[in-house]
Amino acid sequence: MAKLVAIGDSITQGFQSGAIFRTDLAYPTLIARAMGLRVPSEFPIPSFAGSGLPVNIEDLLRSMEQSLGQEISTWEWVVRLPTLLNQYVDRVEDLYERGAGSRPASYGGCYHNLAVWGFKVIDSMTVSSAYCDQAINRAEGWLEDDFFGLPAAPMYRTAKQVLNPNFQAQKASWTQVHNLKAIVQSDGQLDALILWLGSNDCLGTVVDLNIKDMTAADVQQLEQKGQINDPQARRDWNLTNLNLFQRDFTALVETVAKIILPSTKVFVGTVPHVTIPPITQGLGDFDGKYFEYYGSFFASPYNIGDPPQRRHLTKAEVIAIDQRVDGFNEVIRDVVGRQSQAWTIVETGAMLDALAVKRNNSTDAPGMPLIEYCRRKGRPDHPLLNLEPVPSILRFSTQNATRLQGGLFSLDCIHPTTIGYGLIAEEFLTAMQTAGVAGADPLRLDWPDIIIHDTLLQAPPALWDDILTAAEHNAALWDTLLSFMT
């Protein structure tokens, strides 16, 4: 009998520091353990070979540290680091294009965490392992072993492993919702379903530092071409049209509602404002909520002019992104509100708003938003508040392998750390307990275990501060290194 199933994107899958790797530390897995479920026997989850896909920044830095030591000299930046980077990336490519990471798993059932990083709302209903095979073949082209190339179509490789673990022909057309249907039909019951999608309908704007907004005319053109539900065609834009998002989300909820039983409790997360995580750095004048410009996470006075010469978003563009996110959340609340009382909104977007540092006037005390958040939740004695410094959502910064700030976001500056996932698990468990899900209790989260398994907290990579300093002083070099991995 299935107790819990999760459908979502990178956050639900447990993505950290540029890769999907530790799915056992994803927030649905933490929830499952808190509910007394055995993992993976009672809550099956996928696993990924090596250091994960597409590139694990934390593991990469620890690997380089073995060759370079704890500091990078000028000579090593120019000569050794590019070579080590190529060797690392090449190993990942070999593993997932030709090695163990490309082979079917022994597990032949349906995972109960069905999340896939990079998924938009439309992908949950359209991407199958057969579609993944087509996307992988297109991306691979004629060159089998690319120089400085990551595995081709890494998101689709991940999706194939999740949606059809042992590559069964009869499951080739199964999407996330098809897998959900199979679980319900097989087990006859499902206590709780987590449904959290929508972030990737806007996240690309801050990753690319460029808005590719889908207009009504674009939607019409997609419809005329018969590509309105083609995931690949839709990726030409990184900001989904609001009316199309409404169509997508309504279709998803209606599809799920027909699959699950009336007794199943459904918990739907809202979309966070993607301009709050440290993937972007605010620059110029600050009006209490928005900066004049937003640059890369390594943007600083060393590499940004006025106006910025490098990639950036303007204040007006960031406000437009936030307004679109607000529109997405209005859609989510409206669509979910028309379902039965078994459906609950989990305000994950408001959670991130509450933890914001600069927007909450806490620049001089970055840990204060978490302190106040825990107090409002009735947890003034929360274990995270005993950490020094108190974690925040600021960019993870270190000196001599000691954390100076941050702690809730991993090295990719867009996905949570393990303790960050613990906070998300707590938020969902609180909603689940209120809704009457058996065994759901946020106080049953094993925080000592979560903290000890947060490797960035326990032993930050020694090279991280060197990387950030070099990036701040030489943005061109950093942009070059990033281009090798994209």
What residues does 16 pair with on adjacent strands? 19
pLDDT value at residue 304: 60
3-state SS track over the chain? CEEEEEEECHHHHCCECCEECCHHHCHHHHHHHHCCCCCCCCCCCCCCCCCCEECCHHHHHHHHHHHHCCCCCHHHHHHHHHHHHHHHHHHHHHHHHCCHHHCCCCCCCCCCECCCCCCCCCHHHHCCHHHHHHHHHHHHCCCCCCCCCCCCCHHHHHHHHHHCCCCCHHHCCCCHHHHHHHHHHHHCCEEEEEEECCHHHCCHHHHHCCCCECCHHHHHHHHHHCCCCCHHHHCCCCECCHHHHHHHHHHHHHHHHHHCCCCCEEEEECCCCCCCCCCEEEEEEECCCCEEEEEECCCCCCCCCCCCCCCCEEHHHHHHHHHHHHHHHHHHHHHHHCCCCCEEEECHHHHHHHHCCCCCCCCCCCCHHHHHHHHHCCCCCCHHHHCCCCCCCCCCEEECCEEEECCCECCCCCCECHHHHHHHHHHHHHHHHHCCCCCCCHHHCCHHHHHHCCHHHHCCCCCHHHHHHHHHHCHHHHHHHHHHCC
For 4-28, how does the pLDDT look when each residue is reduced to its tens digit (9 = 90+)?
Answer: 999 999 999 999 999 999 999 999 9
| More confidently predicted of 470 and 266 | 266
Q: How far is CA 124 from the centre of its chain?
A: 15
Q: Give yes or no for residue 202 having a pLDDT over 50.
A: yes
* Cross-strand partners of 365: none
Residues 6+ apart with CB under 8 A from 185: none
β-bridge mates for residue 20, sequence order: 53
Task: Give mean pLDDT, residues 442-450.
Answer: 98
Token digits of residue 323: 């307004």
- Tell me, what's the pLDDT at 4? 98
Per residue in 110-130, pLDDT (tens digit) is 999 999 999 999 999 999 999
| Residue-averaged pLDDT of the chain | 92
Per-residue pLDDT of 24-81, as tens digits, reads: 999 999 999 999 999 999 999 999 999 999 999 999 999 998 888 877 776 777 778 7
Cβ neighbour number for residue 434 with a 10 Å cutoff: 10
Over residues 145-176, the pLDDT tens digits come to 454 578 999 999 999 999 999 999 999 999 99
Fold of the 2-484 domain: Rossmann fold (3.40.50)
The two structure tokens encoding residue 84 = 């080590």
pLDDT band at 82 (very low <50, low <70, confident <90, very high): confident
What does the pLDDT read at residue 355? 97
C-alpha distances (whole Å) from 187 to each of 1, 182, 432, 466, 480 are 5, 8, 21, 51, 50
Residue 416, phi then psi, degrees to nearest 5: -65, 160
User: How far apart, in whole angstroms, are the C-alpha atoms of residue 116 and residue 8?
Assistant: 7
Q: Nearest to residue 297, comparing CAs of 311, 285, 284, 315?
A: 311
**Could you state, in order of their start, the residue ranges of all structural domains in the chain?**
2-484
Residue 483 has pLDDT above 60, yes or no: no
- The span from the CA of 475 to the CA of 411, in Å, is 17
If one compares 257 and 476, the residue with the highest pLDDT of the two is 257
CA–centroid distance for 229 within its chain: 23
Query: Tokens for 12?
Result: 């639900």
**Rounded Cα–Cα distance for residues 369 and 357 (Å):** 7
Q: What is the distance between the alpha carbons of residues 360 and 363, in angstroms, rounded to a whole number?
A: 8
| The predicted structure's pLDDT at residue 462 | 92
pLDDT > 90 fraction of the chain, expressed in percent and rounded: 82
Half-sphere exposure of 352 (CA within 13 A, CB side): 24
pTM: 0.95
The per-residue pLDDT for 76 is 76
Query: For the segment 373-414, what is each residue's pLDDT rounded down to a tens digit?
Result: 999 999 999 999 999 999 999 999 999 899 999 999 999 999
According to DSSP, the β-strands at 280-286 and 291-296 are: antiparallel
Predicted pLDDT at 301 = 58
Structure tokens belonging to residue 432: 């689940």
Which position has the higher pLDDT, 436 or 310?
A: 436
170-185, pLDDT tens digit by residue?
Answer: 999 999 999 999 999 9
d(Cα 400, Cα 391) in Å, to the nearest integer? 18
> Nearest 5 degrees, angle CA 45-CA 46-CA 47?
125
Q: Which residue has the tokens 């679980």?
A: 183
